[in-house]
């Protein structure tokens, strides 16, 4: 989440009142079945649902009941639930408290660490339009990032260590799978590259001081939000710049 008004921190339990204003990214077809193993074959587009993979833009109108003016961008962590309400009150939560609905249910600690590693490597570049070569790249990068979030948060893992769980991640296979890429955007290939880099050089996460949080509402789609911080800016260029060079 990027708060334009310069807020410096947030706490678990804070309540933000949000009004939807934009949704960027690409349409994808997906299939989720919590009973499937992480290696289950792709079911194909005939057994799929549609979703938009990318940022969701919001206006912030209140914080803990007090008038507040700002904006934020978030990612979805609960693919099967929509946004029936507007505005929506979102409560800041630990990553291990999202998704709320079962299936898939709350993420494990290791799933939350994989999410943190993904954000540490790619979030700043994904969030910055001016770092992309063009608008199409910007949309593709945020869509691919969203696919990896869904894969981590919805997969049916059989293992319990970070390295082993990474080996079960596959955008096109398993309990959570993308069954059709969109308009030749190549976002599945880009998401696969992001997955391949997870844990490289060590897993980047904090068990006690994360800057990525959940946003929960019992009747609306759960979100992933971030704490605005100067430290985040230092992460820029760690992931996508190298990918873009390889894609040229």
Q: Indicate the pTM of the whole model.
A: 0.89
Task: Please state, in angstroms and rounded to a whole number, the distance separating the CA atoms of residues 90 and 60.
Answer: 10
pLDDT of residue 127: 86
pLDDT of residue 236: 47
pLDDT of residue 133: 66
pLDDT in tens, 185-226: 689 999 999 999 999 999 999 999 999 999 999 999 999 999
Bridge partner residues of 23 (DSSP): 56
pLDDT of residue 130: 57
pLDDT in tens, the chain (248 residues): 333 333 447 899 999 999 988 888 888 999 999 999 999 999 988 888 999 999 999 999 999 999 998 989 999 999 999 999 999 999 999 999 999 999 999 999 999 999 999 999 999 989 886 555 677 888 889 999 999 999 999 999 999 999 999 999 999 999 999 998 765 668 999 999 999 999 999 999 999 999 999 999 999 999 999 976 444 444 444 555 444 433 33
| Mean pLDDT score across all residues of the chain | 87
Map tokens 């590693």 to a residue. 117
pLDDT of residue 62: 95
Q: Which residues contact 24 (CB under 8 A, 6 or more apart)?
A: 54, 55, 57, 138, 139, 142
Peptide bond into 109 cis (omega under 30): no
Contact 75, 149 (CB under 8 A): yes
């Amino acid at each position: 989440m990027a708060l334009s008004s310069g807020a410096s921190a947030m706490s678990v339990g804070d309540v933000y009142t949000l009004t939807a204003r934009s949704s960027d990214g690409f349409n994808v077809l997906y299939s989720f079945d919590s009973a499937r193993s992480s290696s289950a074959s792709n079911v194909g587009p005939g057994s799929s649902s549609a979703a938009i993979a990318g940022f969701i833009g919001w206006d912030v109108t209140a914080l803990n009941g007090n008038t507040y003016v700002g904006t934020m961008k978030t990612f979805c962590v609960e693919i099967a639930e929509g946004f029936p309400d507007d505005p929506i009150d979102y409560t800041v939560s630990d990553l291990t408290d999202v998704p709320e609905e079962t299936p898939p249910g709350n993420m494990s600690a290791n799933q939350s660490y994989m999410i943190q590693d993904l954000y540490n490597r790619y979030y700043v570049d994904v969030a910055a339009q001016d770092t992309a070569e063009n608008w199409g790249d910007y949309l593709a990068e945020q869509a691919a990032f969203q696919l990896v979030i869904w894969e981590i948060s919805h997969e049916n893992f059989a293992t319990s260590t970070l390295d082993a769980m990474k080996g079960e991640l596959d955008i096109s296979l398993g309990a959570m799978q993308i069954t059709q890429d969109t308009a030749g955007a190549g976002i599945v290939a880009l998401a696969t590259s992001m997955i391949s880099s997870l844990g490289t050089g060590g897993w980047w996460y904090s068990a006690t001081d994360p800057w990525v949080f959940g946003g929960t509402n019992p009747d609306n789609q759960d979100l992933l939000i971030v704490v605005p911080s100067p430290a985040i800016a230092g992460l820029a260029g760690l992931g996508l710049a190298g990918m873009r060079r390889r894609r040229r």
